Amino acid sequence: MRRRDFLVSASGALGVVPLVSPRWLADWRAPWLLIPMDESQADHLKAYGVVFRLLERGGRAEWFLNYRFGAFLLPSDAVTARDAALAGVTVEPIDDATLLGIRADIQAGNMEAVPLEKAPKVAVYVPPNAAPWDDAVTMALQYAGITYDKIWDPEVLAPGGTGLARYDWLHLHHEDFTGQYSKFFLTYAGAPWLTEMVERNTAMAQAFGFPNVPAEKRAVAQAISAYVRQGGFLFAMCAATETLDLALAGAGVDIAAAYADQTPMDPDATAKMDWSRALAFQDARLELSPTVSQFSDIDGHEVNALSRRQELGSYRIFGFSAKIDPVATMLVQNHRETIPDFYGLTTSFRKSRIKPGVTILADEPGAPWAKYLHGEHGQGTWTFYGGHDPEDPQHQIGDAPTDLSLHPHSPGYRLILNNVLFPAAKKKELKT
């Protein structure tokens, strides 16, 4: 369909009398819309939503890596211009000549234009009753207006991986894949939410014929690993990063405390771990005490081990060559180079525990830990981001949810949304 025809049909599809608004109508009349991602952008987070919805409507876009901190180029149409105006996203109407100049700049510098051609089908792994406000990714998706499905163990454990195969992108947040309820069992004993979590997980393990929750969660971790191996994109934050790898490496080893599986943890569990099965980490030492809400020494900050807890600093995003390494470049697009750190059950990743071959996307200068990792597994890729909520550095259970309309420029949240759009990039561009 030619662009003009499309515009006419799009106007018709709106089914409304055109509204009188010189500003966004003027935007629409230009052939292209540039979404700048530098300081001029009024809402960095919602910009990703505008692009995503365009892709959902069957449109195409381009991601100008490193050009104005990761700007987007969209063909102009009434629906997109209206969508951007409603979202409060800054757009700059540009003509073909201006675009030609931009392309010349991109060609000449450490920049790249990556076509975005398909809205990824997004799944978030959460229990069915979870509110969207306790997970940074669902908050970011909700705020940006990006649609996603909630899935949990029944979908992940569907025979032959059919449940996950429908999705391009899977997100895990603070799930504990060691099946120990984030080791909150002692600290929050009697809390209604914990009781409900235990009941729900136990029922699920029984329904699938597993002897206990740790065994069932390990099977879930293995299904997720298989999903990535077969070409899926995995993004994990907080405790899901560490516990996913512990569950994978701990196959056949009792790494769960007695309250989770009625048998004490194997005292030699650390020595028995098979790290070749893990995605990101190796040689970690497991936390043996059931009373410390920590899993291993992968996390550098150890937020719940008060005597060893490390203060928060700032982390620095690395720069990559856009033309040689567009994948890493996409994941680090940001208008800030240094970002204040934030705690999570797993806040950071000790470099001494990271496998060789894993790409470190961000770390804290001078500290022995990294914040943001990326790697490949089979035909797919995974990205791990430490911490719970980029705009709530000291997050505690029961805290008020973060209102992202108060943080529309959040650089920490931008990193999450880079990951959401990353699978939309044209496949051949990813093979570098």
Partner 1 sequence: MRTILCSLLVLCGAVGRLAGQSDAMARAYELERRGNFQAAAERYFEVLRGYPDNLSALLGLERALVPLRREAELAVPAEALLARDPGSIAAYSVAMRGWAAANRMDSVAAVAKRWATADPQNELPYREWGSMLMGQRDPNGARRAFLLGREQLGDPAALSGELALLSASQGDWEGAAQEWALAIGRYPGYRLSARNALVQAPRGEQTKVLWQLSRSTPAGRRLAGELSALWGDPVGGYALLVGDLPASDEEAVDALRQFLDAARAVPGPEAARVRGQALEQVADRTPGSGASRLRLEAARAYADGGDAVSARRMLGALAADGSAPPDMAAGATATLVSVLLREGRVEEAERQLGILGRTLGAENADRLTLQVAEAWIRQGRLDRAEAVVAADSSVEAMALSGMIRLYRGDLAGASTALRNAGPFAGTREAATARTATLTLIQPIATDSLPALGAALLLLARGDSAAGVTALVGVANTLPPSGGGAELRLLAGRIEALQGHPEPAERLFRAASDSTAPATAPAAELELARLLLSLGRNVEAVEHLEHVVLTYPGSASVPQARRLLDTARGRIPES
| Interface contacts to partner 1, rule CB under 8 A | 19-21, 23-24, 82, 85-88, 132-133, 142-145, 185-186, 189-190, 258-259, 264, 287-291, 307-308, 400-405
Closer Cβ to partner 1, 13 or 207, answer by number: 13
Closer Cβ to partner 1, 95 or 403, answer by number: 403
Smallest distance from partner 1 to CB 316, Å? 25
Smallest distance from partner 1 to CB 130, Å? 14
Beta strands in 186-263 (DSSP E): 233-237
Closer Cβ to partner 1, 104 or 397, answer by number: 397
Smallest distance from partner 1 to CB 120, Å? 19
Smallest distance from partner 1 to CB 259, Å? 6
Smallest distance from partner 1 to CB 58, Å? 22
Which run of H or of E encompasses 300?
none
Smallest distance from partner 1 to CB 29, Å? 15
Neighbours of 138 (CB within 10 A): 20
The vertex-53 CA angle with 71 and 118, nearest 5°, equals: 80
Q: How far apart are CA 354 and CA 359, in angstroms?
A: 9
Q: Please enumerate in sequence order all residues whose Cβ is within 8 A of that of 193, keeping only pairs 6 or more positions apart, or say none.
A: none
Closer Cβ to partner 1, 16 or 108, answer by number: 16
Smallest distance from partner 1 to CB 22, Å? 8
The vertex-336 CA angle with 86 and 236, nearest 5°, equals: 80
Closer Cβ to partner 1, 162 or 262, answer by number: 262
Q: How far apart are CA 175 and CA 181, in angstroms?
A: 8
Q: How far apart are CA 336 and CA 412, in angstroms?
A: 9
Tokens of 400: 């008020």
Tokens of 242: 């560490």
Closest by CA position to 384, among listed 254, 213, 228, 184:
228
Closer Cβ to partner 1, 90 or 329, answer by number: 90
Q: Give the DSSP per-residue string, 149-207.
A: EEE-HHHHTSGGGHHHHT-SEEEE-S--TTSSGGGTTTTTTT-HHHHHHHHHHHHHHHH
Tokens of 249: 């490496």
Q: How far apart are CA 105 and CA 103, in angstroms?
A: 5
In single-letter form, the type of residue at position 324 comes to I
Closer Cβ to partner 1, 99 or 198, answer by number: 198
Please return the burial class of 173, using the count of CB atoms within 10 Å of its CB with bins 0-12, 13-18 and 19+.
buried
In single-letter form, the type of residue at position 35 comes to I
Smallest distance from partner 1 to CB 386, Å? 21
Closer Cβ to partner 1, 113 or 404, answer by number: 404
Q: Are 270 and 282 in contact (CB under 8 A)?
A: no
Closer Cβ to partner 1, 185 or 372, answer by number: 185
Closer Cβ to partner 1, 46 or 374, answer by number: 46
Smallest distance from partner 1 to CB 20, Å? 6
Q: How far apart are CA 26 and CA 87, in angstroms?
A: 17
Smallest distance from partner 1 to CB 270, Å? 11
Q: Are 363 and 351 in contact (CB under 8 A)?
A: yes
Q: Are 322 and 65 in contact (CB under 8 A)?
A: yes
Tokens of 33: 């819309």
Closer Cβ to partner 1, 259 or 318, answer by number: 259
Q: Are 105 and 51 in contact (CB under 8 A)?
A: no
Closer Cβ to partner 1, 1 or 131, answer by number: 131
Smallest distance from partner 1 to CB 86, Å? 5
Phi, psi of 311 (to 5 degrees): -70, 155
Smallest distance from partner 1 to CB 326, Å? 30
